[in-house]
Structure 1
Amino acid sequence: MATGAVVASSTTCLCCGRARGFIHTGPVYAVEELSHLRCPWCIADGSAAAKYDAHFIGDPVGDDVPLEVVMPVDAGTPGFSFWQDPRWFFHCGDGTAFMGAVGAAELAAFPDAREELRSEAGVWGWSAGAVESYLGALDKDSQPTGYLFKCRTCGRYMAYADSRSRSQTAAATAGSSRWRSRMGGPSSGDARRGCRRGCRGGGPGR
């Protein structure tokens, strides 16, 4: 609940038919419209994914892990709202824990994650000053926004940044190309999840 992906709600879950007091508000990739209609229990136990052929996380990034590791995380982890570039880190051979949206102020406590963002922005061809300005402009409530993850095995923090401006994230998005072929197509929209009749994704989720 701290990340905002799950909120208190009296909404009835479409999957189990129960109003359990909480509902997932993050993105879902499925043929049917499932926005705000899944309880976190049906996501966690995989029943929502199985019933609706639904997927919940974005492009896997970080460690190169087999699909046998990626798919259970994808099917049973509530995704979070994003601007337009959903990703999920994998580290030490498993999915990481999403810690929430962060801005420059919050990242000060996570130097490893900040350095990773600095390295990522550095490959965009910007000057050092422009990179630092970009990092300083990160805002957890606006854009660009940082998204913080923590490895559940070694405790390392990592992050990526996203905004509505595709030019700011194009280079980073290209880095996940190896996953596109492994997941069966482009990494965004319907084809990423193998939907054939128009998946409903998260869109700009903020």
Structure 2
Amino acid sequence: MTLPTFKYNPDPISLNVIKKEHTTCPVCEKESEYVYHGPFYSVEDIEGICPWCIKDGSAAKKYNGSFQDDVSCDDVNQQEYVDELIFRTPGYCGWQQEYWLSHCGDFCAIVQYVGWKEIEHLEEELSEDIEDICSGGGLTKENLKQWLVNGGDLQGYLFQCVHCKKHRLYIDAS
């Protein structure tokens, strides 16, 4: 069975939030070879959700939950985009509270977890985000380049606009 595609998380397997692992989905009660291992916000502690129940919104509906905290996102005016992100898109795993960036009036797609070496070729394209990160976090650009390590204490998350393909950067610290 082909995995569903997600507009805002096009490769959840590479982000390690969907894994090839046997499960019986608590939503559809079907056996699946793929299981979700990312954030899910609900009153109940739910495990074993299959990707198909994320995609069709049935997991969020059944458990009155979400895959992204709607206050931890850039503002987007289209409610349909917000609903797709929080109710029908697998999240990603961050050190602290995950945050979802936007561009061109829509949410961006999460691309990968990054350190400086993975994004140094995008320095010019990411310059606005880098300036905002440094000014808001009390970092110098040199500190950011040194301390931003994939899997390290300062973790980067690379996003890409689903319309114009511009890259965006978000970071958090452990």
TM-score interval for Structure 1 and Structure 2 normalised by the shorter chain? 0.7 to 0.9
- What are the residue-to-residue correspondences of 1:168-179 with 2, within 5 Å? none
SS at match of 1:60: coil
1:154 matched to which residue of 2? 164
1:40 matched to which residue of 2? 51
Maintained 8 Å contact 2:126/2:167? no
Equivalent-residue separation in structure 2 for 1:132 and 1:115 (angstroms)? 13
2:77 matched to which residue of 1? 65
1:24 matched to which residue of 2? 36
SS at match of 2:163: coil
Cα separation, partners in 2 of 1:20 and 1:66, compared to 1, 3 Å? same
Deviates more, 1:16-25 or 1:106-115: 106-115
Q: Which has a greater percent of helix?
A: 1
Could you list the per-position Cα deviations for residues 38-58 of structure 1 after superposition, in whole angstroms to 9, with x for gaps in the alignment? 111110111101111111124
- What are the residue-to-residue correspondences of 1:121-132 with 2, within 5 Å? 121-124=133-136, 126=138, 130-132=140-142
2:148 matched to which residue of 1? 138
1:77 matched to which residue of 2? 89
2:64 matched to which residue of 1? 53
1:104 corresponds to which of 110, 116, 121: 116
Equivalent-residue separation in structure 2 for 1:140 and 1:125 (angstroms)? 18
2:107 corresponds to which of 78, 81, 95: 95
Maintained 8 Å contact 2:101/2:170? no
Give unmatched runs, 5+ long, in structure 2: 1-12
Maintained 8 Å contact 2:40/2:66? yes
Maintained 8 Å contact 1:42/1:48? yes
Give unmatched runs, 5+ long, in structure 1: 165-206
Could you list the per-position Cα deviations for residues 54-105 of structure 1 after superposition, in whole angstroms to 9, with x for gaps in the alignment? 11124111x5424443122210000011111311122222222110110011
Cα separation, partners in 2 of 1:125 and 1:34, compared to 1, 3 Å? closer
Q: Which has a greater percent of strand?
A: 2
When normalised by structure 2's length, the TM-score is: 0.83
Q: Which runs of 4+ in 1 moved over 6 A?
A: none
Shift in Å, 1:112: 4.9
Q: Which amino acid in structure 2 is aligned with residue 46 of structure 1?
A: G
Cα separation, partners in 2 of 1:14 and 1:119, compared to 1, 3 Å? same
Q: Which amino acid in structure 2 is aligned with residue 49 of structure 1?
A: A
Q: CA RMSD in A?
A: 1.9
Equivalent-residue separation in structure 1 for 2:109 and 2:27 (angstroms)? 24
Aligned residue pairs total: 160
Q: Which amino acid in structure 2 is aligned with residue 141 of structure 1?
A: G
